[in-house]
Structure 1
Amino acid sequence: MFYVKKIFTVALLLIAGSLSAQPKTPSVEARFSADSVLIGDQFRLDIEVDKDVMEVVEFPVFDRGHLGGDSTDIEILAEGPVDTLKTDGRRITLKKSYLLTCFEEADYRIGKFPVLYINKNIIDTLWSMDSLRIFVNTLSVDTATQTIHDVKLPLEVPVRFGEYGGYLLTGLLGAALIALVVFLLVKRFRGKRQSGGKRVPAEPPHVTAIRQLEKLHSQKLWQSGKQKAYYTGITDILREYLSTRYPVKALEMTSQEILDRMIRESLPEKSIKRLKDILITADFVKFAKFTPDADQNETVYTDAYYFIEETKAVEVEQPAAEIEPIKTEEKKEDDA
């Protein structure tokens, strides 16, 4: 009999050991932070999952920012991360919170909260032990003791100058500006009528070019080592002069194209030579890093000056009208 009891005890211990060796299924606990709230109040939904370290659980994703189940009026304002609440050996407790609100009065029965469970080849849905339920209430109005008043009309406030002073000042400035523009336009129109619509003749091209040359020469560019700027300025002045003096687009032409075009204009040979020396020297300075001496720098300026003088348009002076003397008839003396 003793041996039978001993064998029975050993069998019970083996069964208990085998049951304890089996992995424990994760448990899910879900609860609201309050049993009832007022409309518009914020409250939390806390989810805790107790599981083995090697087990994997996934929390649901809610569409359109609303809590699932039968309640579509409970809105999700924020979703917290998954945090580790505590660890105990191989057991670990995870927590996740949702910040919620609701604007419809009702008794919301959401049911059990689902969590996806993954372990090796097992994929299952775990549900919380308790169902979720919350009351969303509104404040009641006692019409017996509370008097309901109509909406008050807007208060009448006296008009103050400070409220419209800025608009008035802006209007006066705008009117003054318009008056000034009208005055200038009328003055210009009257000036044209008094002058008979005649325009002041433009300055001749050679006068403009010589003035620009003198201004460039007075800057003393090559004396301060800025020879490239000096030669670029001289060639630009000559190109602009040729563009206004002759029907050529000298600003867009190469040096050789300019020389060929000027030859067809029947310029004097010495003028062609001056222009050729200027353009070739300038090209060497700008593109071949050639450094002329002081005499060459001054020669380029004088050649440009004389080239403009030699090729400028000759103004034909109109001969002054001859004034015939007034003939006075000699007074004949009456014969006595």
Structure 2
Amino acid sequence: MKRLTLLTLLLALCTTVRAQDTPAVRARVEPDSIGIGDRFDYVIEVDKDLVQVVQFPEFTPAHHGEIELVESLPVDTLSREGRRLRLLKRYRLAAFEEGRYNLGAARVLYADKNIVDTLRSHDSVYLEVTTFRIDSTSQSIYDLKPQKNLPFRFREISGFLYLGAWILVLLTGIFFALRYWLASRGKGLGDLFKPAPPQPPHVVAIRALEALHHQKLWQNNRHKQYYSQLTDILRTYIDGRWGVSAMEMTSDEIIAAMRTVELQDKARMDLTAILRDADLVKFAKATPDGEQNEADYLKAYYFVEETKLVNDGPETVEDEQIKMKN
């Protein structure tokens, strides 16, 4: 009997020592009474041994929509005495509904050697949320006031008016300066909007021939396109130079029309050769060699150079066209 009593006492003592070694958990709110929309801190404190491991929970408020988590602050060490540590964890929350809330007991996960357990604080935590109280007997309630219309003031737009006046003065000065500059050169303001005078037909033709040469059409076996563009350049030049509607004529009609024009025999023969070669390529699907292609290009180039109008006197292109018609 004595041995049984002694064994019971030893078991009770071990249980008491183990209970003392288990970390202690406490919880509170700071402050415990707030107004709607205010923030408060849910605080958990743990006293534990140095080798014991505790894990604070991810705080999820039980009253969803009424209490919301704003910020979870890192764990802080409040004190250390020998092997004992005091840890503190803060959760910053906000409440949006009036009432008294039971936030429950704090829960902390605890691990020590082969022991894994959930520790709870002894008491539940309560929060009081209040709102503004309006005494309608002593305070009168009024409707919202309508928007007040203020009188118009000149200074509200004076800056825009001054800016517009300065811009008007600047534009006027630019106008008269430009007018004076043009008058000193014998021109008027209307000369600024006149279209550029048309370029002489031979200038247009030479530029078109140079552009055609850079395309390298016949070098890429595009002979038909090459001769079509070459003859179109000559037709346009003949129309602009002598007033012959060559764009609407066949090769034979162009040759016949050019018999009334004063030309050197070489120029007439070159024009005929180019038109005949072009017809063979376009209609008979002939494929000339590179030497012939280059030769026809040079014939067209020198035809323009040898027949271009050199304006040494009062005679112009229009004068020569009138002379041909007569």
What's the TM-score, normalizing by structure 1?
0.51
Matched, 1:68 2:55: no
- Give the alignment of 1:159-178 within 5 angstroms: 159-165=152-158
Percentage identity across paired residues of the two chains: 35
2:29 is the counterpart of 1:32: yes
Residues 76 and 100 of structure 1 are in contact (CA less than 8 Å); yes or no, is this contact kept in structure 2?
yes
**Aligned-pair CA distance for 1:85:** 1.1
Corresponding residue for residue 285 of structure 1: none
Is contact 2:106-2:120 (8 Å) kept? yes
Q: Please report how far the alpha carbon of residue 137 of structure 1 lies from its aligned counterpart in structure 2 after TM superposition.
A: 0.4
SS at match of 1:266: helix
List aligned pairs for 1:218-257, cutoff 5 A: 245=210, 247-249=212-214
Out of 140, 149, 152, the position equivalent to 1:147 is 140
In the other structure, the counterpart of 2:230 is none
Change over 3 Å in CA distance of 1:267–1:201 after alignment to 2? closer
**Cα distance in structure 2, aligned partners of 1:202 and 1:85:** 99
Residue matched to 1:265: 294
- How far apart are residue 79 of structure 1 and its match? 1.5
C-alpha distance in 2, partners of 1:202/1:131?
Answer: 104
- Structure 2 residue 52 is the aligned partner of structure 1 residue 55: yes
> Structure 1, residues 165-202: CA drift from partner, whole Å, max 9, x if none?
4666789979x99xxxxxxxxx699846xxxx973459
Give deviations 1:185-229, integer Å, cap 9, x for gaps. xx699846xxxx9734599499xxxxxxxxxxxxxxxxxxxxxxx
1:55, distance to aligned residue in structure 2 (A): 1.8
The CA deviation at 1:97 is 0.8
Which structure 2 residue ranges, 5 or more long, are not aligned? Answer: 172-189, 217-288
Deviates more, 1:158-167 or 1:81-90: 158-167
Q: Is structure 2 residue 92 aligned with structure 1 residue 113?
A: no
Query: Any unmatched runs of 5+ in structure 1?
Result: 1-6, 178-186, 207-240, 252-259, 269-308, 325-336
User: 1:190 and 1:31, CA in 2 relative to 1: closer, same or farther beyond 3 A?
Assistant: closer
Residue of structure 2 in register with 1:41 after alignment:
38
Residues 242/151 of structure 1: CA separation in 2 closer, same or farther (3 Å cut): closer
Return the match for 1:317 from 284, 301, 309: 309
Contact kept, 8 Å, 2:202 with 2:308, in 1: the verdict is no
Q: How far 1:107 sits from its partner (Å)?
A: 0.6
C-alpha contact (below 8 Å) 2:61/2:68 kept by paired residues: no
* 2: CA distance, partners of 1:242 / 1:147: 92
Q: Which residue, 63, 70, 73 being the options, matches 1:77?
A: 70
Distance 1:164 1:61 in 2: 59
Contact 1:245 1:312 in 2 (8 A): no
Q: 2-side partners of 1:32 and 1:15: how far apart?
A: 38
Among 112, 120, 126, the alignment partner of 1:133 is 126
Residues paired across the two proteins, number: 224
What do the CA deviations read for 1:69-119 (whole angstroms, capped 9, x no partner)? 346411222221011111122221111112222121111111111112223
CA shift digits 1:117-169 (9 cap, x unpaired): 22333322211121110110012101111111221122221112333346667
Return closer, same or farther for 1:167/1:261 CA change in 2, 3 Å cut-off: farther
Contact 1:86–1:93 (8 Å) recurs in 2: yes
Cα 1:18–1:124 change in 2 (3 A) is closer
| Shift in CA distance, 34/316, structure 1 to aligned 2, threshold 3 Å | closer
Structure 2 letter corresponding to 1:28: V
Q: Answer whether contact 1:243 1:250 (CA < 8 A) is retained.
A: no
Tell me how far apart the structure 2 counterparts of residues 114 and 11 of structure 1 sit (CA, whole Å). Answer: 34
Taking structure 2 as the reference length, the TM-score comes to 0.52
1:22 positional shift:
3.9
8 Å CA contact 2:202, 2:304 repeated in 1:
no
Cα gap change, 1:262 to 1:45, in 2 (>3 Å): farther
- Check 1:200–1:39 CA distance in 2 against 1; reply closer, same or farther (3 A cut): same
Aligned residue for 1:77, secondary structure, equals strand
The one-letter code matched in structure 1 to 2:91 is Y
SS of equivalent to 1:247: helix
Code of the residue aligned with 2:116 in structure 1: it is: I
